[in-house]
Structure 1
C-alpha cells in the first residue's frame, strides 16, 4: 500500500469528519498535497459549498501536508492547527479541490532547526481551494484561500503515517 493510501486510511479513521466530507487524497509529491471533496455532502441551503466544509477541507490539506512532510523527514509528531483564516472569494458551485504547498516548495530551514533543537516547530501554510476536476497546476483562480499556522510537538522517529 502506498504512503498516500495509508495516509488516506489514517485520515478517515482518525478524523471521521473527513470521511463525511468525502475527502479524497490525490497526490503528494514531497512539495504539495492535492485533495478533493464532492459538493453534494458539502452544500449549503443555497446549493453552493458550505463555508465550514470548505474550511475543513483546507485545514485537512494543510495538516496533511505537515504530517506527510514530517514522514518524509523520518519524523512523527503531534500536529495541530494553532490558528487559521479563510477568505471566500467566489461561491463553490461544483466539486472542489484543495492544494497546499510547502513555502518555497521545501520545508523551511527554520522549521527544521526548531524541530532538531526543541522537538517542536511552527509552519505557516496556505491552502488554495478550486472548483472542478483536481489539477496540480490549476488554470483558474482559487475560490477560497486558507492561511494557517500549524504546530508540531513531541517530535520522534518515524511511525506509520
Structure 2
C-alpha cells in the first residue's frame, strides 16, 4: 500500500466527515497535496458548492499536507488547525479540487528547528480550490482560497525501537 493510499484510508477512518464529503487524495510530491471532492454530496440549495463543504475540503488539504510533511521528516505528532479563514471568490459549480503547497515548496527551516528543539511548531498554509478535474497545475483562478495556521504538538520519531534479543 502506498503512503498516499494508506493516508487516504486513515483520513476516512479518523475524520468520518471526509468520507461523507467524498474526499479523494490524488498526489503528494513532498511539497504539494492535491485532493478532490464531488459536487453532488457537497451542494447547497442553489446547486453550487456548500460553503462548509468547500471549507472542510480546503482545511483537510492543509491538515493532510502537515501530516504528510511530518511523515517525510520521520515524525508523527498531534496536528490541529489553530486559525482558518476562507475567501469564496466564485461559486463552486462542478466537482472541485484543492491544492495546498508548502511555503516556498519546502518545509520551512524555522518549523523544522522548532520541531527538533521543542517537539512542536506552527505552519501557516494556503489552500486554493478550483472547479473541474484535479490538476496539479491548474489553469485559471481559484474559486476559493483558505488560509490557516496549523499547530503540531508532541512531535516524535515514527521509528519504533527494535526489541532486543535476550541471550
TM-score range, shorter chain: over 0.9
Q: Superposition pairs for residues 10-159 of structure 1, below 5 Å?
A: 10-158=10-158
Does structure 1 residue 8 correspond to structure 2 residue 21?
no
What TM-score does the superposition give when structure 2 sets the normalisation length? 0.95
Distance of 2:140 and 2:100 partners within structure 1:
16
User: CA offsets, 1:105-133, max 9 Å, x none?
Assistant: 00000000100111100000000000000
Distance of 1:140 and 1:93 partners within structure 2:
15
Unaligned runs of 5+ in 2: 160-167
Distance of 2:8 and 2:157 partners within structure 1:
21
Q: CA deviation at 1:6?
A: 0.1
Q: CA RMSD in A?
A: 1.0
Distance of 1:150 and 1:158 partners within structure 2:
20
Unaligned runs of 5+ in 1: none
Q: CA deviation at 1:140?
A: 1.2
Q: Secondary structure at the match of 1:59?
A: helix
Q: CA deviation at 1:157?
A: 1.0
Q: Which has the larger radius of gyration?
A: 2
The 4+ residue runs of structure 1 with deviation greater than 4 A are none
What TM-score does the superposition give when structure 1 sets the normalisation length? 0.98
Q: CA deviation at 1:158?
A: 1.2
Distance of 2:158 and 2:18 partners within structure 1:
24
Distance of 1:25 and 1:47 partners within structure 2:
24
